[in-house]
């Protein structure tokens, strides 16, 4: 997966993820990097699927806001959402 992106992209994606609260970070990593379904994320985090969906959405919103603060992060956001 990382072959398409530069090492700088990887560093930026990781820094975006580190800015998230732990539960949001785990949910996004499971969903987009490990290709879990929403139901699998919910089971892994021991929460309802609706709550898992909201955790992911809120995490993505925070990542997008961080990207808007620094335009060079926009490519890294795409990396964070590669399935």
Q: Could you say which architecture CATH assigns to the domain 22-77? A: Orthogonal Bundle (1.10)
pTM of the model: 0.76
Instruction: Tell which residue, 12, 7, 30, 22, has the closest CA to residue 78.
Output: 12
Q: What residue spans define the domains of the chain?
A: 22-77
Instruction: State the angle between helix axes of 38-45 and 49-69 in degrees (0 to 180), rounded to the nearest 10.
Output: 100
Q: Please write the tens of the pLDDT for every residue from 9-68.
A: 778 788 889 999 999 999 999 998 899 999 999 999 999 999 999 999 999 999 888 877
Enter the tokens of residue 8.
Answer: 């700088």
């Amino acid at each position: 997966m990382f072959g398409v992106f530069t090492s700088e992209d990887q560093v930026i994606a990781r820094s975006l993820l580190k800015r998230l609260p732990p539960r949001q970070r785990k949910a996004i990593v499971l969903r987009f990097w490990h290709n879990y379904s929403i139901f699998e994320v919910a089971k892994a985090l021991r929460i309802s699927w609706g709550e898992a969906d909201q955790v992911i959405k809120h995490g993505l919103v925070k990542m997008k806001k961080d990207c808007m603060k620094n335009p060079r992060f926009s490519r890294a956001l795409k990396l964070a959402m590669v399935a």
